[in-house]
Amino acid sequence: MTRPEITHDVRITDTTLRDGSHAMAHQFTEQQVRDTVRALDRAGVEVVEVSHGDGVGGSSFNYGFSLTDEMTLIAAAREEARQAKIAVLLVPGIGTADDLRRAHDAGAEMVRVATHCTEADVSPQHFGVARELGMETVGFLMMAHRTSPENLAKQARIMVDAGCQTPYVTDSAGALMMHEARARFEALVAEVGDEAWVGYHGHQNVSLGVANSVIAYESGVRYIDGSLCALGAGSGNSPTEVLGAVFDRLGIETGLDVSALLDAAEDVVRPYLHRWPKMDRNAIVQGWAGVYSSFLLHAERAGERYKVPPHEILRRCGELGYVGGQEDMIIDVAIGLAAERDRAGAAVS
Numbered residues of the known binding site: 18-19, 172, 201, 203, 292
Report d(CA 139, CA 116) in Å as an integer.
11
Report d(CA 11, CA 201) in Å as an integer.
12
Report d(CA 252, CA 311) in Å as an integer.
38
DSSP bridge partners of 116: 142
Is 273 exposed, middle or buried (CB count within 10 Å of its CB: 0-12, 13-18, 19+)?
middle
- Which stretch of DSSP H or E encloses residue 332? helix 329-348
Range list of H helices, 24-123: 30-42, 70-80, 97-106
Annotated binding site for Mn(2+): 19, 201, 203
Sign of CA dihedral 38, 199, 105, 21: negative
| Radius of gyration of the chain from its Cα atoms, rounded to whole angstroms | 19
Among the listed residues 150, 235, 133, the one whose alpha carbon sits nearest the alpha carbon of residue 186: 150
Contact 174, 203 (CB under 8 A): yes
3-state secondary structure of 47: strand
3-state secondary structure of 185: helix
Report d(CA 262, CA 176) in Å as an integer.
27
The one catalytic residue among 8, 22, 179, 274: 22
Report d(CA 200, CA 216) in Å as an integer.
7
22 included as an active-site residue: yes
Distances (CA, A) of 17 to 163, 166, 237, 262: 25, 20, 12, 17
The set of catalytic residues is 22
